[in-house]
Amino acid sequence: MSLTKMVAIGSLLAVVALPSIAEAGDSTDSEAAPEYFDATAFQISSKHDGRAPGSALPRDLTRLWTLRLKGDVSYPVIAQDLVFVTSTRNTSGTNVHAFDAQTGGKVWGPVDLGGPYGIGRLTYDAGRLFAINFDGKLQAFDASTGTPIWSRNLPGQYSFTAPPTADSGVVYVTGAGSGGTLYAVDEATGAVIWSRGVANGDESSPAVNSRSVFVSFACEVTYRFSLTGKSKWVHTTNCSGGGGRTAVLHRGKLWIRDDAGKTPKVLNTSDGERVGAFDSDTTPAFRNDTGFLMQNGTLTSIDAASRTVLWSQAGDGTLVSAPVISGRVAYVGAASGKVYGFDVFDGQLRWTGSVGAPVQTPDEHNAGQLQALAIGDGILAVPARHRLSVFG
């Protein structure tokens, strides 16, 4: 049995679905209580692999709420039953907001992050929300209250466009301007633990596992460092240039995409050697041995080992977002304003919803907001220009 209630959100009135216990569980029909996980970074986690661990989203998602903010909305971070986003300000810079995940009610914010352009990047770890602006001002907030904890201007660079990644007490972020720098910052104090020079430093959100941190830039120039900052390997090619793309970690492989026109590659995480190639316009997503790639408006499922195509789905012909995965469903947004859920095994349509505005292709090149879907704490959050919609 499902119930609904009307919830007032400022001047908005939202219809909120209250799922029954059965609807909130996994898609396996298990009666066990659902176990939800946070979306802590761009494309959900520090590996950026687009997969939400834990229980699957409910079978029949309902739009819980939609808010219209004054500026473009960033990719969401989801934790503590809150949805965090930044939105561009009327003049310059961004605000950070925290909304109740179930009702859309304002919990705290907006807080002005300062800086020029529409750059406001977020990550979360252990009760703290971390935000960086274009100037490299990295700030820590109490996630539940918005209380500022510390603020640090990162030295040596002046252009910070990459989403930060917080993991196990450290915030990793790259900056550019004069070459590039990878920083490791203490989550508790804001002190720079170590920093290392890299080729450029734009847009590439550090990918982190239990042993290493990886960043990848134009011309496939890719680095692996230990968590203490020791260089482990550098993968280079015969060109150089500015820009970057977020690399994705999955089962001992690093999936990199280039900002200078080269074909995306797959590298061994152990030695940086190339072991394959692939084609994706956005950050790929993974579920076990299967990859999900956006190719010219078509979502394509591949065998991650052989890169063999398993199925393709074009939806309404306007698919644009990077895919995200929950349970056995791959979710993707469309320029038509629709959001689709396709079965990861056979590509069949399992669910569709609408956000009422065009979902955007993630812009990993220009200074401005980076939009992407996020799944965490049992909800699907979808930014679409000035709108933020949540399904659950």
Residue 61's φ and ψ, nearest 5 degrees, are -65, 140
271 Ramachandran zone, left/alpha/beta (phi>0; psi -120 to 50): alpha
- Comparing CA positions, the residue from 66, 50, 58, 53 lying closest to residue 15 is 66
CA–CA separation, 136 and 138 (whole Å): 6
What pLDDT sits at residue 24?
28
- Comparing CA positions, the residue from 215, 78, 174, 190 lying closest to residue 138 is 190
What pLDDT sits at residue 59?
84
- Counting the structural domains of the chain, the total is 1
DSSP reduced 3-state for 125: strand
Residue 350's φ and ψ, nearest 5 degrees, are -110, -20
Q: Tally the C-alpha atoms within 13 A of residue 111's C-alpha that lie toward its C-beta.
A: 26
Can you give the pLDDT of all 392 residues of the chain as single tens digits? 333 433 443 334 344 443 332 222 333 333 345 667 999 999 999 999 999 988 789 888 999 999 999 999 999 999 999 999 999 987 788 999 999 999 999 999 999 999 988 899 999 999 999 999 999 999 999 999 999 999 999 999 999 999 999 999 999 999 999 999 999 999 999 999 999 999 988 999 999 999 999 999 999 999 999 999 999 999 998 887 788 899 999 999 999 998 777 899 999 999 999 999 999 999 999 999 999 999 999 999 999 999 999 999 999 999 999 999 999 999 999 999 999 999 999 999 999 999 999 999 998 887 789 999 999 999 999 999 999 999 99
Residue range of the domain that includes 225 = 3-391
Contact 373, 51 (CB under 8 A): no
Predicted structure pTM score: 0.90
- Comparing CA positions, the residue from 334, 340, 381 lying closest to residue 359 is 334
Q: What are the start-end ranges of the E strands in 119-164?
A: 120-125, 128-133, 137-142, 148-153
What pLDDT sits at residue 25?
30
Domain CATH for 323: 2.130.10.10
Query: pLDDT of 225-258, one tens digit each?
Result: 999 999 999 999 888 778 889 999 999 999 999 8
CB atoms within 10 A of CB 142: 13
CB burial of residue 1 (10 Å; 0-12, 13-18, 19+): exposed
Query: Edge-to-edge strand order for the sheet containing 387-391?
Result: 63-68, 387-391, 379-384, 374-376
What pLDDT sits at residue 33?
53
